[in-house]
């Protein structure tokens, strides 16, 4: 009698659909980012249980609830340190970190710099809407000068942070920018970011339709220009990437700014982890090693 | 000035400006964000500065800086944000810097939710930061008190050179009530100890470091002496129907409003029920409780937390009278009906034990 063996069914978009429906406002840019992440996971065929999505606090930080992977909803601004801990414990997991501009560049700004410096192998997607949405519309670290918000009633007087330039300066090994309305392009960037071994940063323009009346979908659409459309652009050239990173106004570049693959990620550089993740190891120490260690201490 | 209908969170800022506050540095968090927004709108009008900090850690340290220079300063937050500020509050208490912090509490632990609990009591009243320090804590239960106690908070902060926390729940922060503001504004004054960038203040040093053990011990003892004076002079509580109360209801913030309504209804039924409402949570009104214990048979603590105020009430009574406890958490508020039923049961219990005593 013949035996029929079925191979595993390929993963589809529906397999990554979360058990909770997003509570974002209708028209929010974050819907496009969620779909782009799911699409990238389908293309890469990564099983749900091998992915962990980690976030901080904010509208976009509700993301882990809306996607069918392992998820962690952590403290405001602290998603990257938590993700670093996950990666130290089990570096075979695909780690996605999601959040907003306030979470990542404001309260989490310190961690943003250090996670990149360490080249932790994860993909950090910031849904950048240049406003605090969850607390109903205060200025953010990426709000433009002059922008009127509930906490800048006379117009913002502070200059914004430059996320792409900051990431380049801090040593991120993959740096890109996407636009929520161009899902196909964004999903391609996310896919490359996940495939990249090391810290991948993607700043995504994800307009807030409720509280940011300045930087809307309509505002971005004619301005965004893909770096991929310029055949002369070399994403291996750090200085060229820096130059592009500060462009803002009539032309705003999106796409892959920079990638380098010659540096080891944190788990590759850490000698203790060369035999595999900590989680898979026996929970006892070889008695001979233990004895030698105790003798050394005494 | 005539009365105006205003939200609790906004009343704090108007009162702060009138009390001479000229620096507000904060970070948005529900249900306290309106304070930050109102500060952004009002402070520039009186020559004050407002900054939205990148985090609560940054905000409290901005206060440290501006307070050191002698400016009356304030911030506002809630649960998780107050946790982040604890490091700076400890440093300010150590360096003896005045500031006012409004905590419009929400539910925890962790992210919890944005509805109201009173579970910040421990971290605020007992001092959530490290070291031997206290903060003075005022607990408004109406929008009028949000204004009045904010003014008092600035006074106390300067008088004791110590952080003062105005702690209430999201209900009092979000509700609107008529408020009367003071007729006259307090102008900014430069304290003698400030580092003001002048020839006279060149010798002033603001620091919480005492590397010598004896010096640090002396510093801590001096802080304690200060808190002892506050215990003697600043303790405040409100008493309602307390002259002949058998059953004493204890609560603060929104709970106190419910207790007052319940007490009135119980009185109508002939039950001798009173309300003792701490207005200062530190210093705690221990003497009010000792006095009440002379006559009352039972105390009932009603709290939107798992028994944090309860501990201070037990300490104040020191076993003199039984303390019963009614708690709701998670953002749930004890209803008028459930508190009344609880009170009726306790009052019956008292009456029965009295009959037994007479037999």
- pLDDT computed for residue B359 by the predictor: 55
pLDDT tens digits for range A114-165: 999 999 999 999 999 999 999 999 999 999 999 999 999 999 999 999 999 9
- pLDDT computed for residue B357 by the predictor: 62
- pLDDT computed for residue B25 by the predictor: 97
**Domain boundaries defined on chain B:** 2-233, 237-358
Domains B2-233 and B237-358 share a fold: yes
A8 pLDDT higher than 90: no
Verify whether the Cβ–Cβ distance B28 to A73 is below 8 Å. no
- pLDDT computed for residue B340 by the predictor: 97
Verify whether the Cβ–Cβ distance B80 to A138 is below 8 Å. no
Verify whether the Cβ–Cβ distance A150 to B52 is below 8 Å. no
Could you name the CATH architecture of B2-233?
Answer: 3-Layer(aba) Sandwich (3.40)
Verify whether the Cβ–Cβ distance B30 to A135 is below 8 Å. yes
CB pairs below 8 Å between A and B: how many? 45
Chain B residue with CA closest to A107: the answer is B55
Q: Which of residues 5-64 of A touch B (CB under 8 A)?
A: 57
CATH code: domain of residue A176: 3.40.50.970
Kindly list the residues from chain B whose CB atom is less than 8 angstroms away from the CB atom of residue A138.
28, 33, 36-37, 52
CA distance A266 to chain B (A): 28
How do A174-179 and A252-259 pair as beta strands?
antiparallel
Has residue A58 been placed in a domain?
A: yes
Kindly list the residues from chain B whose CB atom is less than 8 angstroms away from the CB atom of residue A152.
40, 52
Chain B residue with CA closest to A75: the answer is B111
A2 pLDDT higher than 70: no
Which of A108, A135, A155, A166 is most worth mutating to test chain B (most B CB atoms within 10 A of its CB)? Answer: A135
Q: Which 3-state string (H, E, C) describes chain B?
A: CCCEEEEHHHHHHHHHHHCCCCEEEECCCCCCHHHHHHHHHHHHHHCCEEEECCCHHHHHHHHHHHHHCCCCEEEEECHHHHHHHHHHHHHHHHCCCCEEEEEEECECCCCCECCCCCCCHHHHHCCCCCCCCCCEEECCCCHHHHHHHHHHHHHHHHHHCCEEEEEEEHHHHHCEEEECCCCCCCCCCCCCCCCCCCCCCCCCCCCCCCCCHHHHHHHHHHHHHHHHHHHHHCCCEEEECCCCCCEEEECCCHHHHHHHHHHHHHHHCCCCEEEEEECEEECCCHHHHHHHHCCCCEEEEEECCCCCHHHHHHHHHCCCCCEEEEECCCCCCCCHHHHHHHHHHHHHHHHHHHHHHHC
Distance CA(B19)–CA(B151), nearest Å, equals 5
A5 pLDDT higher than 90: no
Verify whether the Cβ–Cβ distance B33 to A154 is below 8 Å. no
Has residue A226 been placed in a domain?
A: yes
Kindly list the residues from chain A whose CB atom is less than 8 angstroms away from the CB atom of residue B37.
138, 150-151, 153
Containing structural domain, residue A251: 13-297
Edge to edge, what strands does the sheet with A224-226 contain?
A: A70-73, A51-55, A94-100, A123-128, A200-205, A174-179, A252-259, A224-226
CA distance B12 to chain A (A): 16
Distance CA(B173)–CA(B175), nearest Å, equals 6
Q: At what angle do helices B143-160 and B8-18 cross, to 10 degrees?
A: 40
- pLDDT computed for residue A68 by the predictor: 97
pLDDT tens digits for range A38-56: 999 999 999 999 999 999 9
Q: For chain A, say whether B55 makes contact (Cβ under 8 Å).
A: yes
Which of B7, B13, B28 is most worth mutating to test chain A (most A CB atoms within 10 A of its CB)? Answer: B28
**Fold classified for B237-358:** Rossmann fold (3.40.50)
Name the domain count of chain A. 1
CA distance A33 to chain B (A): 24
Q: Among the listed ranges A264-268, A274-278, B238-242, which one has the minimum average pLDDT value? A: A274-278
Instruction: Please report, in tens digits, the pLDDT of each residue of chain B (359 residues total).
Output: 579 999 999 999 999 999 999 999 999 999 999 999 999 999 999 999 999 999 999 999 999 999 999 999 999 999 999 999 999 999 999 999 999 999 999 999 999 999 999 999 999 999 899 999 999 999 999 999 999 999 999 999 999 999 999 999 999 999 999 999 998 898 878 999 999 888 888 899 999 999 999 999 999 999 999 999 999 999 999 999 999 999 999 999 999 999 999 999 999 999 999 999 999 999 999 999 999 999 999 999 999 999 999 999 999 999 999 999 999 999 999 999 999 999 999 988 877 776 766 65
Verify whether the Cβ–Cβ distance B80 to A75 is below 8 Å. yes
Kindly list the residues from chain A whose CB atom is less than 8 angstroms away from the CB atom of residue B10.
none
Verify whether the Cβ–Cβ distance A151 to B40 is below 8 Å. yes
CA distance B258 to chain A (A): 29
Chain B residue with CA closest to A151: the answer is B37
Kindly list the residues from chain B whose CB atom is less than 8 angstroms away from the CB atom of residue A151.
28, 36-37, 40, 50, 52
Has residue A8 been placed in a domain?
A: no
Kindly list the residues from chain B whose CB atom is less than 8 angstroms away from the CB atom of residue A109.
54
- Here the tokens at position B84 are 């982040």
Verify whether the Cβ–Cβ distance A73 to B111 is below 8 Å. yes
Q: 3-class SS at A129? A: coil
Q: Kindly provide the residue ranges of all beta strands, DSSP E only, lying in A235-294, ordered along the sequence.
A: 252-259
Average pLDDT, chain A: 95
Q: For chain B, say whether A133 makes contact (Cβ under 8 Å).
A: no
Verify whether the Cβ–Cβ distance B37 to A151 is below 8 Å. yes
A111 pLDDT higher than 90: yes
Select the residue of A106, A153, A154 nearest B55 (Cβ to Cβ). Answer: A106
Has residue A165 been placed in a domain?
A: yes
Chain A residue with CA closest to B26: the answer is A151
Select the residue of B41, B54, B110 nearest A106 (Cβ to Cβ). Answer: B54
Chain A residue with CA closest to B41: the answer is A153
pLDDT tens digits for range A153-188: 999 999 999 999 999 999 999 999 999 999 999 999
Kindly list the residues from chain A whose CB atom is less than 8 angstroms away from the CB atom of residue B56.
107
CA distance B98 to chain A (A): 25
Q: For chain B, say whether A71 makes contact (Cβ under 8 Å).
A: no
Which of B52, B62, B82 is most worth mutating to test chain A (most A CB atoms within 10 A of its CB)? Answer: B52
Has residue A30 been placed in a domain?
A: yes
């Amino acid at each position: 009698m013949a035996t029929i063996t079925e191979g595993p069914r390929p993963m589809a978009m529906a397999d990554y659909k979360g058990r909770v429906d997003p509570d974002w406002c209708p028209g929010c840019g974050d819907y496009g980012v969620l779909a782009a992440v799911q699409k990238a996971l389908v293309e890469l065929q990564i099983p749900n249980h091998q992915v962990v999505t980690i976030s901080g606090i904010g509208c976009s930080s509700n993301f882990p609830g809306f996607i069918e992977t392992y998820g962690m909803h952590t403290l405001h601004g602290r998603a990257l340190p938590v993700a670093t801990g996950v990666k130290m414990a089990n570096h075979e997991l695909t780690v996605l970190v999601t959040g907003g501009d306030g979470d990542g560049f404001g309260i989490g700004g310190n961690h943003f710099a250090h996670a990149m410096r360490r080249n932790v192998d994860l993909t950090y997607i910031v849904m950048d809407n240049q406003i605090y949405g969850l607390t109903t519309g205060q200025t953010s670290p990426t709000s433009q000068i002059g922008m009127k918000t509930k906490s800048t009633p006379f117009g913002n007087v502070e200059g914004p942070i430059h996320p792409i330039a900051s990431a380049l300066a801090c040593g991120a090994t993959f740096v890109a920018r996407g636009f929520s309305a161009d899902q196909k392009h964004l999903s391609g960037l996310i896919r490359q970011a996940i495939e990249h071994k090391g810290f991948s940063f993607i700043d995504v323009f994800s307009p807030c339709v409720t509280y940011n009346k300045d930087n809307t979908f309509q505002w971005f659409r004619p301005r965004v220009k893909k770096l991929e459309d310029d055949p002369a652009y070399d994403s291996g050239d750090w200085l060229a990437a820096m130059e592009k990173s500060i462009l803002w106004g009539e032309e705003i570049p999106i796409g892959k700014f920079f990638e380098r693959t010659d540096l080891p990620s944190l788990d590759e550089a850490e000698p203790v982890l060369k035999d595999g993740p900590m989680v898979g190891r026996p929970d006892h120490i070889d008695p001979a090693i233990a004895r030698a260690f105790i003798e050394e201490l005494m | 000035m005539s009365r105006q209908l205003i939200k609790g969170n906004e009343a704090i800022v108007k009162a702060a400006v009138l009390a001479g506050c000229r620096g507000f540095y904060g970070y948005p968090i529900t249900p306290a964000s309106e304070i930050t927004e109102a500060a952004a709108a009002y402070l520039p009008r009186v020559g004050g500065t407002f900054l939205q900090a990148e985090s609560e850690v940054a905000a409290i340290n901005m206060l440290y800086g501006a307070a050191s220079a002698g400016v009356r300063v304030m911030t506002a937050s809630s649960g998780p944000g107050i946790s982040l500020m604890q490091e700076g509050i400890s440093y300010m208490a150590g360096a003896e810097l005045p500031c006012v912090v409004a905590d419009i509490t929400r539910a925890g632990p962790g992210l919890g939710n944005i509805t109201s609990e009173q579970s910040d009591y421990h971290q605020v009243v007992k001092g959530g930061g490290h070291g031997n320090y206290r903060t003075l804590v005022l607990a408004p239960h109406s929008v009028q008190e949000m204004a009045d106690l904010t003014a008092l908070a600035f006074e106390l902060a300067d008088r004791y050179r110590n952080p003062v926390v105005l702690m209430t729940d999201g209900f009092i922060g979000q509700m609107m009530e008529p408020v009367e503001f003071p007729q006259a504004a307090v102008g900014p004054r430069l304290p003698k100890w400030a580092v003001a960038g002048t020839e006279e203040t060149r010798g002033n040093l603001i620091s919480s470091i005492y590397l010598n053990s004896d010096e640090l011990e002396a510093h801590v003892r001096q802080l304690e002496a200060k808190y002892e004076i506050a215990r003697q002079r600043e303790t405040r509580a409100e008493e309602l129907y307390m002259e002949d109360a058998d059953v004493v209801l204890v609560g603060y913030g929104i709970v106190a409003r419910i207790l007052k309504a319940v007490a009135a209804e119980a009185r109508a039924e002939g039950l001798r029920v009173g309300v003792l409402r701490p207005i200062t949570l530190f210093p705690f009104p221990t003497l009010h409780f000792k006095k009440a214990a002379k006559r009352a048979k039972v105390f009932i603590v009603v709290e939107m937390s798992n028994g944090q105020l309860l501990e201070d009430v037990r300490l104040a009574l020191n076993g003199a009278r039984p303390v019963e406890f009614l708690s709701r958490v998670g953002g749930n508020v004890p209803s008028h009906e459930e508190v009344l039923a609880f009170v009726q049961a306790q009052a019956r219990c008292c009456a029965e034990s009295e009959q037994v005593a007479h037999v």
